[in-house]
Amino acid sequence: MKTSCEIIKDILPLYCDGICSEETQKLVEEHIAACPSCAVLLEKLRVDCHSVNTQSQLKETDMFRKASEKWKKSIWRAFCKGAAAIAAIAVLATTGHYGLCEVNIIHAAPDLVDSISYEIEGDPNNIAVVLNTNDGYFNGTIVSETDKDGNIYLSIARPIIKEKNRAGDNLQIIYTVNIENKSAVYYGTPEDSKLLWDTNSDLPEITYKEISKLHENTSIHE
């Protein structure tokens, strides 16, 4: 008997977390091999899983440990002419994910953020945006707000107690945005923003696999 897509959809999160039995695993793999729509769903889940992992890695002790390591290094760097740290952290955050830094946030201004937007192959409901900041700070999280006209405004929020004097550090964020029934996606605020997508946009394509790769390549490194 062929397993229905509904059953597979229920099991996919467990499969993605690697916590289902071998038999179930086989069942999912057989289904995925023959069902493109569930395969797309799995790729999407994998990206989300990875993002959650990246997010939890950033939490509390780890984040502060890394921040203080980097802080120490950047002091040395201040003495070394021409040495620049490039740190990139991929953070895919939903509201509630920035509890750690919710007091005293500031937003990275649109003119300090480079962006590339992509259509996602096989998924007309989401787009992917890659945001690169160059204001010298490496930590932050995405905040998303939607107005009544279906315009989404994304911004990168930083805690005010971010590490200053971190010249050369950059942040790269890969973010998928649900554009179902939406009019446009902007980076910034209604007063100061740049367009990332609207219904007339003809964006380059990216696959969920490629998005996963980008996530892998943007964990903290120098």
* Cα–Cα separations (whole angstroms), residue 17 to 13, 14, 45, 47: 6, 5, 10, 12
Q: Are 185 and 152 in contact (CB under 8 A)?
A: yes
Tell the smallest beta-carbon distance from residue 38 to Zn ion (Å).
3
Tell the smallest beta-carbon distance from residue 50 to Zn ion (Å).
22
Tell the smallest beta-carbon distance from residue 41 to Zn ion (Å).
8
Q: Report which DSSP code applies to 12.
A: H
Identity of the residue numbered 34:
A
Residue among 46 and 97 whose Cβ is closer to Zn ion: 46
Residue among 38 and 108 whose Cβ is closer to Zn ion: 38
Tell the smallest beta-carbon distance from residue 83 to Zn ion (Å).
51
Q: Are 140 and 173 in contact (CB under 8 A)?
A: yes
Residue among 124 and 190 whose Cβ is closer to Zn ion: 124
Tell the smallest beta-carbon distance from residue 202 to Zn ion (Å).
30
Chain residues binding Zn ion by CB under 5 A are 5, 35, 38
Residue among 32 and 93 whose Cβ is closer to Zn ion: 32
CB-neighbour burial class of residue 58 (10 A; exposed 0-12, middle 13-18, buried 19+): buried
Residues in CB range of 74: below 8 A, 6 or more apart: 85, 163, 165, 166, 167, 169
Q: Quick one: which of 211, 185, 205, 182 has its CA closest to 44?
A: 211
CB-neighbour burial class of residue 200 (10 A; exposed 0-12, middle 13-18, buried 19+): exposed
Residue among 42 and 177 whose Cβ is closer to Zn ion: 42
Three-state DSSP class for residue 196: strand
Tell the smallest beta-carbon distance from residue 122 to Zn ion (Å).
13
Q: Are 97 and 113 in contact (CB under 8 A)?
A: no
Residue among 31 and 166 whose Cβ is closer to Zn ion: 31
